[in-house]
Amino acid sequence: MALSTSPLSDYGRIIAGIDVSYFFDRPKVLAAVDRATVRSLARCGKIVRDKTKSGIKKRGMARTRQLTSQRGQARQQQEIRARPPSQPGTPPHTHTGFFRKWIAYAYDPMFKSVVIGSLRSHWLYDLHEFGGTNPRLRRPANYPARPAFGEGLKKALPYLPKQFENMIRVYG
């Protein structure tokens, strides 16, 4: 018995052409995983945003109806001054609804993650979230940190893993 010199043989054994591309490397599967990941991360962003918004309580003028008379406005201003600020380490209060209104989330395709924050770049968000000194006052005042986004993430954590369950559907 002679050894074959064919390129398909190696020392008398036939080498089969085996496709070593893995199932998860196929473009169709990768595209399905990417679509499902974006969908799941978007749901996670929505949950964290909603929990953050619900943690910021309305106080004072953030009511649905604004009073127009001078007496009514004076009463609202007195109500605002009478309420103490939120405790340090808890989400801030809102008087006008400004904090709650501009919170949004977006998917970042470069890092494949979700970014949650304010649509407006406003110094007051940073001041409340991280604490510090307000430089815009005549007499600068120190603000303790009142993290709204961190608290929203803590409240949302139990709901996040469920968003990734059965995220890829197999048909056929």
Is the pLDDT at 4 greater than 50, yes or no?
A: no
Alpha-carbon separation of residue 6 from 15, 18, 19 (angstroms): 10, 17, 20
Mean pLDDT of 43-69: 79
> Would you call 142 helix, strand, or coil by DSSP?
strand
Encode pLDDT of 121-146 as tens digits. 677 788 888 888 887 777 777 888 98
Nearest alpha carbon to residue 167 among 35, 31, 61, 5: 35
What token pair was written down for 79? 């109500």
pTM above 0.85, yes or no: no
Q: Are 129 and 94 in contact (CB under 8 A)?
A: no
Alpha-carbon separation of residue 172 from 12, 21, 32, 73 (angstroms): 42, 22, 15, 65
Encode pLDDT of 45-55 as tens digits. 999 999 999 99
